[in-house]
Amino acid sequence: MFKKLNILDEKDKRLRMISKDVQFPLSAEDKELIDRMIEELTYSQIEEYEKKYNLRPGTGLAFPQLGLLKRIIVIVDEYEKGKFENYVVVNPVIVSNSKEMIAADVGEGCLSVNREVEGHVPRYARVTVEGYDIDGNKIKIRAREELAIAFQHEIDHLNGILFFDRINKDKPFFSEYEIRLI
């Protein structure tokens, strides 16, 4: 039986706090919550379920968005129509990044931000993320383009940063000559 997650709104002060590293083994509650996050993110990207459950489409969630200050992120990437890859990273750290910067042409959104925010969010075009899987095994993920943006967005949540904090107030939009828009 599907039950929607209670995602915090941007006004909640917990979204501005820095999350703590997670110790292993993960609790049964944390593992269950990860499964629910994967389910909701997947459903939100399938039009039939998005409408049925009144979901906003989303690619990722971080534990702080659910009121838990733990360094865990979940990304569900639809790499091909109807095909998804799940990324669950505990204690993620960006260990390297490209010099090249990109931004989502239409801007970014967030399941905790229930309003339109205009502006380009500069991000690295490629990142390498290290962390642990749910069993405590060390993992390394190389991400590029949209997936790299998703990792940077979710890791920001662990540090109390919301995407609009990264929009330049004096120059919210870039031309394609200044930054590669994807």
What CATH number has the domain bearing residue 159? 3.90.45.10
Q: Taking the CB of residue 20, how many other CB atoms lie within 10 A of it?
A: 12
pLDDT at 37 over 90: yes
pLDDT band of 134, cuts 50, 70, 90: very high
Indicate which residues carry an active-site annotation: 154
Residue 70 lies in a domain: yes
Residue 4 lies in a domain: no
Q: Domain containing 173: what range? A: 26-181
Write out pLDDT tens, residues 55-74.
Answer: 999 999 999 999 999 999 99
DSSP-based three-state secondary structure for 17? coil
Residue 142 lies in a domain: yes
Backbone angles phi, psi at 72, to 5 degrees: -135, 130
What total of structural domains would you count in the chain? 1
Chain-centroid distance, C-alpha 136: 20
Q: Are 121 and 107 in contact (CB under 8 A)?
A: yes
Q: Can you give the pTM of this predicted structure?
A: 0.97
